[in-house]
Structures are given as C-alpha cells and as structure tokens.
C-alpha cells in the first residue's frame, strides 16, 4: 500500500453526528486534512464544527471560501453551499443545483477532490439515507485513491453506504471503530516514511 496520502474526504447524512464523533476525536492533531460533507438543511445552525472541536485533537472549523487546505485541520461543510477542492488545494463554494436533493453534495466534493489529489486521496462514505457520494467515490477509485465505506449493517442508515458499495469496487468495508483504527494506523505509517 502506498502511504503518501495527502487528504481525507468524508461524506455522511442521517446519523452522521454519531458516526463522525466515533472517528474524528481519535485522530492525531497533526493528521492530514479532513474535509467533511454532512447533509443539512440550508437554514440549519451549523453546530457540528463547534461540537467536534470540543472533543477533538485536530482543529475543527467550518470551511471558508479560498481557504488553503492544511494538515491538522478538519473542514466542515457550510449549509446551502457545495464545496469544491481547487487544483491548488484551496476551497471553492458553489450554489449550483442540488445533487441528490443535497447542497452541499458529497458527489461534488468527492469528484473535485479526486481531480485535485488524484491517487493521494482517501474517500470515506458513512451512514446516510440517499445515494449521494456513490458517484464521487467511484471518481476517487478511478483516480487511484483509496475508498472506504462504513459497513451498511453497522450504519444508522444503510442506504448511502450500500449505494457506494454498489457503485464501485470499494477497497475497505469497515465498522466505525475499524475506520478509526485504520486512519490512526495510516497516520503512524506515514510518519515512518
């Protein structure tokens, strides 16, 4: 396995708060950047970064336009905006049409991140109740990135992980504790390079 990954993108919907809370707090403070799409309605107060920051070692924040993506930071989607990753690894926003009834859309983030990071990207699909993310995960796989999906039998909402598994050949199908341990192990391996 190559160990030169530079970023992680995570997509989740229904049940996402609990799923993210099982993974993000365990990551070391110098871990590679993590960009998260959590489906939420446009008028929602975005409490996710505030909550995760209180329990995490990494810096957790809401993504900002034109922001440079750096290690040690978790970027959380903003209600009402798609997030895209530019080739220079900065954040762009879009108010294009919803994808799978969602803006922010996991597919939009994953497809742009696959272009920006190619084989140095890890894509993760967690619990959720629609098919958003399956096309994007396929893009990551096709670009040579690593793909991980939460085991649908362990997910609060199995539809999203199952759709991703049906869409592409996934590298790993894991429970939340296994995903957490995999990422921590990967971080330790990369330090040894």
Q: How confident is the model at residue 187 (pLDDT cuts 50, 70, 90)?
A: confident
59 catalytic, yes or no?
A: no
Catalytic-role residue among 26, 77, 132, 139? 132
CATH value at residue 186: 3.40.50.180
pLDDT, tens digit (0-9, with 9 covering 90-100), for 116-142: 999 999 999 999 999 999 999 999 999
Number of domains, the chain:
1
- In 3D space, the residue among 56, 91, 59 whose CA is nearest the CA of residue 72 turns out to be 59
Q: How confident is the model at residue 75 (pLDDT cuts 50, 70, 90)?
A: very high
Does some domain include residue 120?
Answer: yes
Does some domain include residue 1?
Answer: no
Q: Chain centroid to CA 164: how far?
A: 13
Does some domain include residue 135?
Answer: yes
pLDDT, tens digit (0-9, with 9 covering 90-100), for 24-52: 999 999 999 999 999 987 777 778 999 99
115 catalytic, yes or no?
A: no
Does some domain include residue 2?
Answer: no
Residue ranges making up the domain that contains 75: 7-191
Q: Tell me the whole-structure pTM to 2 decimals.
A: 0.96
Does some domain include residue 125?
Answer: yes
């Amino acid at each position: 396995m190559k160990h030169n990954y530079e970023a992680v993108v995570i997509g989740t919907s229904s049940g996402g708060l609990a799923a993210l809370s099982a993974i993000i707090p365990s990551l070391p403070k110098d871990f590679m950047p993590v960009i998260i799409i959590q489906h939420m309605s446009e008028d929602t107060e975005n409490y996710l970064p505030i909550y995760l920051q209180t329990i995490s070692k990494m810096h957790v924040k809401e993504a900002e336009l034109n922001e440079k993506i750096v290690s040690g930071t978790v970027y959380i989607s903003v209600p009402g905006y798609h997030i895209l990753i530019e080739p220079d690894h900065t954040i762009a926003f879009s108010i294009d049409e919803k994808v799978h009834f969602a803006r922010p859309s996991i597919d939009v983030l994953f497809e742009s991140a696959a272009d920006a990071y190619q084989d140095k990207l890890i894509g993760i699909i967690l619990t959720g109740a629609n098919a958003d993310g399956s096309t994007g995960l396929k893009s990551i796989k096709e670009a040579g990135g690593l793909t991980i999906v939460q085991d649908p039998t362990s997910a609060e909402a199995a539809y999203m992980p199952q759709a991703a598994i049906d869409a592409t050949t996934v590298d790993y199908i894991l429970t939340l504790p296994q995903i957490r341990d995999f990422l921590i192990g990967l971080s330790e391996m990369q330090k040894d390079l």
